[in-house]
Structure 1
Amino acid sequence: MLTLVRQVNLYQAIQELNKEKDHAITKLCALAGVARSAYYKWLKWKPSSMELEIHALAKEIKLRYDKRKGILGYRQMRTQLNRKLKKKYNKKRYYRIMCALGLKAVIRRKRASYVKAAEIHVAENVMNRNFNANSPNSKWCTDVTELKYGNGRKAYWSAIIDVYDNSIVSWVLSHSNNNNLVMDTLKRAYVEASWRKLYPMNGKSPLY
């Protein structure tokens, strides 16, 4: 029955092209992959009431599919058309007809959802691009560098330097670039720089 739906569509296309474009039936049948005798048999064919019903439903499915730009699957198609036609066709019928017509639902990509970030406190720009220091530990700078090695592997090197003499106060190497990497570098800086006298800058932390 469902093969019939597919064949009827081919025969109708052949018939329309023959009438509108005056293409030869023999060539059209060859292109469609159907026997010429089968086409002429279809012209004399008198469908049963069940065949007419299925073919009518197939037309409705194709129209609705095109109207909704291919986003309907057989379940949604069944819900919408059963309501419109006031029928109780089961989902298997819709599934088989859509398969016979080569209709598949277009999967729409889910829009990326995001939550607007809350406003955060922006620290005062105390340094103001002045990278000169008159004493140790009055200004520190930090950065994380990505290192590539091996077969596409990555490591991250986090370091804190003293602007006064560009010496490395502390550093940490990790395979993850996250807050823990930064905090571990900071903690180590305080421990390893304990031999220095920490000079506060206007009563504020020397870290910027």
Structure 2
Amino acid sequence: MNRCQFVEDHQRRFGVKRLCDILGIARSSFYYWRRTAPARAARQAADERLAARIRKAHRDSDGTYGAPRVTAELRDEGGQNVNHKRVARIMRAIGLQGVRLRRRHRTTVPDVAAVKAPDLIGRDFTAEAPNTKYVGDITCLSV
């Protein structure tokens, strides 16, 4: 429940001005929210209709298509022209996502027969004086 809905529900008992002051919202914002309620309801209904079309296109692809391909499918079948951002938003809302096929990049292949480097400092990294122990670290940093 948002704050404007709370004001709408309790306005008869406490008044719009008092509730808006307590909740920290402008009265004009409440009245704008109330005035635009039919448009929001219409958009939600349109999104639900579009969600059904998205589910069908996603199901027809065996769950592999993501938002760009689903958008292309919806455009190919005709009807309402949709934006890929809207399709992505609705897919996120209904919990659908495409399959990501990514090849794993293996940077190092260890030689099992190679001799391991000895631990010359015995995992003791404290030094009594400067320049007596040197330790290095080879870390693979993503570029």
TM-score by length of 2: 0.42
TM-score by length of 1: 0.30
Q: Which protein has the bigger helix share?
A: 2
Q: Which protein has the bigger strand share?
A: 1
